[in-house]
Structure 1
Amino acid sequence: MVRAKKHLGQHFLKDEQIARRIAFSLSADGLFSQVLEIGPGTGVLTRHLLEQWRGRLTLVELDRESVAYLKKNFDHSDFVLIEGDFLRMDLTSLMQEPFAIIGNFPYNISSQIFFKVLEHRDQVMEVVGMLQKEVAERLVSPPGNRDYGILSVFLQAYYDMEYLFTVEPHVFNPPPKVRSGVIRLRRNSVTSLGCDEILFRQIVKQGFQNRRKTLRNALKPLNLPFDSVPDSTLGARAEQLSVDEFVELTKQLQSWKS
């Protein structure tokens, strides 16, 4: 038996149909040639991934009990099994080709996983992840919605995103106290935002940290001149701006910085 460990945020999926549905949510159109599964646990999702990705699958698992279980119950010549912390791994050296990430992500590190995806956006062509429903909805939320936030903007700048389906608590062991949501990210064609991307991130973060304020007031701590920014933009709140509008705002402000 593999005991679910609270400090690792483990909730093992036990429904084979849902596991298969998640596994086959990955595209098979040649955009990537390898798949990395985060936190396979007892391999419920892994079994279905092997149907399509045998020999091209890498598993990353931090829990020693789960690693021992996978080694005992699977032919590990079918995949690469790495015991370690995904958040600490050098993905550039680990994965040599464009790849996809999939997994039942631990709730307590799901946002960190997506920030790491952003760091490796030129390698990570697709992500299919199950995470807390509230967080999943926030990531795919469009502008003008109260769920729209910092990570929504950062991810939507480089990925086309969609909410796939909801998963109820009773299909997990132990059942979590909240519902889960499965989302899919597919890398878009954007290689550069065409603006100062460091300043872009600063503006987005500062805007949402004071999301109830207009941008004129929310961005004051950055000490940027607003002379070239239209009043219609400065009078809006961060949640009202699309990715393209944040990019345009950055362009209007970056000339002062340079």
Structure 2
Amino acid sequence: MKKKKSDPAQDPSQVRAKKHLGQHFLKDENVAKKIADTLSYQGYDKVLEIGPGMGVLTKYLLEKDTEVHVIEIDTESVAYLENNYLHLRGRIHEKDFLKYDLSQVFGDEQYAIIGNFPYNISSQIVFKVLELRDQIPEFSGMFQKEVAKRICEKEGSKTYGILSVLVQAFYEAEYLFTVPPSVFNPPPKVDSGVLKLTRKENYSLPCDEKLFFRIVKMGFNQRRKTLRNSLKNLNLPDNLREDAIFGSRPEQLSFQQFIELTQKIEPYAVSDK
């Protein structure tokens, strides 16, 4: 007699981790609870989990006094969640987080974002959070350890970069704890790290924000050069380029100094507005 094939919607062993989606399913309940506890759940009443998989983290979010939404691109995971997490009915969004207009879900409300993020798109997730920063007071989750460390790094470090500056201009970034490969199925080849971002009380910049982003990216795209050389395409006047700050390399500048640099350049630069 032919054995009946298991249904992924009922059997978790049939929800396969897909390499092309960068999936590594968290299987450690203690780690999941610890991640759920990283948010304060203050100042908002909705939380969006990215990439819930089979809901190991989701179950602990559902214990909190908040309205939980999940966004998942994997159809097998969606089917499993719909059958096993009935409290999520109507709040499971089978969409690509990077492409989906979240105003269709949250309007202009405040909400937090959390998740065990696929390594292959984790930086892109952070860039989108920065775009949505007016609505996201808190963000926490699991990254490849070196990426999480880089986001929280301070100036003067070799790993300090674009994400470090842009994130820290708007959020307080805190590296929380390291997670070994053994808590995942399949285990990744590297350690993971959990970080938390808390939006600053005053997170609007005293400069042209688009120009700020542009200057940070231009500087780090040629990080071995001084800013005098990496920003030469801005066609700034010679007397401005003689300012001492232009003799620095990008990793030497804090986010506050990048703001000061933007303020110096602003009167001379063509805005992207």
- Fold equivalence (TM over 0.5): yes
Hey, which bits of structure 1, 4+ residues long, moved more than 3 A? 76-79, 228-231
* Residue 202 of structure 2: aligned partner: 190
Please tell me whether the aligned partners of residues 101 and 127 of structure 1 are also in contact (alpha carbons under 8 angstroms). yes
Deviations 1:11-65 (A, max 9, x none): 000000000000011113x2221100000000000011111045x0001011000
Q: Kindly provide the amino acid, as one letter, of the partner of residue 53 in structure 2.
A: G
The equivalent residue for 2:79 is: 68
Q: What is the Cα deviation at residue 86 of structure 1?
A: 0.8
Offset at 1:227? 2.1
Moved more, 104-113 or 85-94: 85-94
Residue 136 of structure 1 aligns with an amino acid whose one-letter code is: A
1:119 alignment partner, one of 131, 137, 140: 131
Report the 3-state secondary structure (helix = DSSP H, G, I; strand = E; otherwise coil) of the residue aligned with 2:134: coil
For 1:133-177, what per-residue CA distance to the aligned partner results, in whole angstroms no more than 9, with x for missing partners? 011111110111111111111111110110000000011000001
Matched, 1:154 2:166: yes
1:59 aligned residue (52, 58, 70) = 70
Which amino acid in the other structure matches residue 23 of structure 1? A
Superposed, which structure 2 residues align to 1:20-99 within 5 Å? 20-28=33-41, 30-53=42-65, 56-77=67-88, 80-96=91-107, 97-99=109-111
* In 2, Cα distance between equivalents of 1:77 and 1:134: 33
Aligned partners of 1:177 and 1:73: how far apart in 2? 30
| Among 158, 183, 190, the residue aligned to 1:178 | 190
**Matched residue SS, 2:32:** helix
The CA RMSD over aligned residues, in Å, is 1.5
Q: What is the Cα deviation at residue 71 of structure 1?
A: 1.3
1:140 corresponding residue in structure 2: 152
Match of 1:167 in 2: 179
Amino acid of the residue matched to residue 2 of structure 1? Answer: V
Whose Rg is larger? Answer: 2
CA contact (8 A) 1:57 1:79 kept: no
Give, as a single letter, the amino acid of the residue that structure 1 aligns with 2:35. Answer: I
Q: Counterpart amino acid of 1:115?
A: F
Tell me if the contact between 1:140 and 1:152 (Cα under 8 Å) persists in the aligned partners: yes
- Match for 1:114: what amino acid? V
Contact 1:140 1:161 in 2 (8 A): yes
Distance 2:239 2:195 in 1: 40
Identity %, equivalent residues = 58
2:114 match: 102
Instruction: Please state whether the residue corresponding to 1:175 is helix, strand or coil.
Output: coil
Number of the residue aligned with 1:249: 261
Equivalent AA in structure 2 for residue 167 of structure 1 = V
Q: Distance in 2 between matches of 1:78 and 1:27?
A: 24
- Per mean C-alpha deviation after superposition, the further-off stretch among 57-66 and 77-86 is 77-86
Q: Which moved more, 1:34-43 or 1:77-86?
A: 77-86
**Residues 92-113 of structure 1, C-alpha deviation per residue, up to 9 Å, x if partnerless?**
2321321100000000000110
How far, CA to CA, are the matches of 1:227 and 1:199 in structure 2? 20
How far is the alpha carbon of 1:257 from its aligned partner? Answer: 2.8
Contact 2:169–2:203, Cα closer than 8 Å, also in 1: no
Extract unaligned runs of 5+ from structure 2.
1-13
Is residue 227 from structure 1 mapped to residue 273 from structure 2 by the alignment?
no
Question: Is the 1:139–1:152 contact (alpha carbons within 8 Å) kept by the matching residues of 2?
Answer: yes
Q: 1:141 and 1:191 mapped to 2: Cα distance?
A: 19
Residue 10 of structure 2 is matched in structure 1 by none
Q: Take 1:82 and 1:206, find their aligned partners in 2: how far apart are those partners?
A: 36
Instruction: Give the length in aligned residue pairs.
Output: 256
